[in-house]
Every structure is written in structure tokens, then in C-alpha cells.
Amino acid sequence: MNPDHLNRRETLGLLAAGTAGAGMIASAAKADAQDKEPGPDSPAILMPIGDATEAVDTLYPFFRVAEDGFRAVVCGPEARTYHMVLHEVPPGAKIPWDITEERPGYHIKAEVAFRDVDPTKYAGLFVSGGRAPEYLRYDKDLMRITRHFFEANKPVAVVCHGIEIVSAAGVIKGRTVTTVAKCALDAEQGGAKYVDKPCVVDGNLVTARTWHDSAPFMRAFMKMLTGQNSGSRPAAG
């Protein structure tokens, strides 16, 4: 029984039944919520992060994919807790900033280390921004993981400085992408065409400039994921 599907008369009838009726409504609501909550067998989205990963870049998609029944699996150089940061050009600063200021943010735990990731078990890849990609792109296991998603034509989402990772992996040659303007050179050095747009879709790849573009960006990524996974859904082991 789904309480969302009860009409007014049915709901009033259950409420009139007293405690038993209210219990039926509560049980139905709980069961419906459990149906929507991603479990261990849900299709999994891999999210590589590291210290200085941007908080909003990461947390918005982490919870957004769960809304559609996917499970976000965070991975890092090691399976441990990482420091996220906030990146923005501070408004109203007495001395103007030419580039983003970095401040401490929330923390997030990586479930698995890059070296232990089997990318074949994941339905998609989400690459966050922040300062972390500057050093994560040197990790050979992360490069192996990233290349798999392009070779298998699985959905990949990249925001802001995340472009440094896919550029280093050599997988964006000939693609049209966007990123934060200060990373345009990283895109071009990887052989991609850079455009200044909120969101760009090119094949299995969707890119965005910053977390400010999250609405069109995540809408496009979720469309890719739900379209690909309308049938069989690979899940993380």
C-alpha cells in the first residue's frame, strides 16, 4: 500500500479506524520509503575524492543520485576520511580576489582505495572539483578506473577542476567540454574543445563549470544513468 496513492476517502476511512488504521498508514509510508532507499544491491556510482575536494561539488551529487535509487560509493587514495573545502570568490572582500578562496569544509569518508576498485561493478563515474584533482591525476589506479568508464561508454560527469583528471587520463580528445574558466587550458591540453556553457553533453560525458551549474548538470547526468539502467543495473560489490 502506497499512502501517496490513497484517495481522501480511503485515508479518512483508515484514520477513522483509530490506532489500527493509523498504523497501516505508517507501515505503508515506511515500506514505501524503504523501497526508495538505495541498498547494497542498488546500482552504484563511483565518486573519486581526496583532500581538498570541493564540498558542494561532491555533496550535492552524493545525495542527488540516491534520490533516483543509485548508491554513491566514495573512493580515494586510501579508504579513510578526507577533508573537503569550500571554493568561491568571496563577495565584498575589502581586497579583491582574482581567484577562488579556499576555506575548510565538511569531511567525507572513502569506502575503498583506488587500487581496490573494480570499475566494472559501477554504473557511472562522478568526478568532483576542488584542489584535489591537482594531485589525484598522478594516481595510476585512478587513471585506470577513469579510462574504463570511457572504454565501456558508461555515463561520466565532471565538474570544475575534475577536468584535470579526465584530461590526464587521455579520454577527452576530440570531445567538447566545459569547466571553470581557469581550467580551460587543462581541457585543451587534453585534446578537447572548451566552451563556456553551464553544461555540455558529448556522448557519455557531461561536464559543468562549477557547482552553480548543478541543476542542468545533474539533470543531464541522471537522464544518462536512468536511461542506461532501465534494464539490468550493475551494482558495486
Q: Would you please indicate which residues are annotated as catalytic (active-site) residues? A: 161
Q: Are 222 and 68 within 8 A, CB to CB?
A: yes
CA 177 – CA 166 distance, rounded (Å): 11
**How many whole angstroms separate alpha carbon 168 and alpha carbon 115?**
18
Of 7, 47, 8, 50, the closest CA to residue 155 belongs to 47
CA distance 156 to 122: 11
Q: What is the C-alpha to C-alpha distance for residues 76 and 112, in angstroms, rounded to an integer?
A: 7
Check if the beta carbon of residue 193 is closer than 8 Å to that of residue 175: yes
CA R_g for the chain? 21
C-alpha distance from residue 211 to each of 4, 24, 79, 154, 162 (Å): 33, 41, 25, 22, 12
Q: What stretches of 37-169 show up as alpha helix (H) in DSSP?
A: 55-67, 133-136, 140-151, 163-168
Among 157, 164, 167, smallest CA distance to 206 is for 157
What is the greatest pairwise CA distance in the chain?
A: 69
| Helices 19-36, 8-16: inter-axial angle, 10-degree rounding | 130
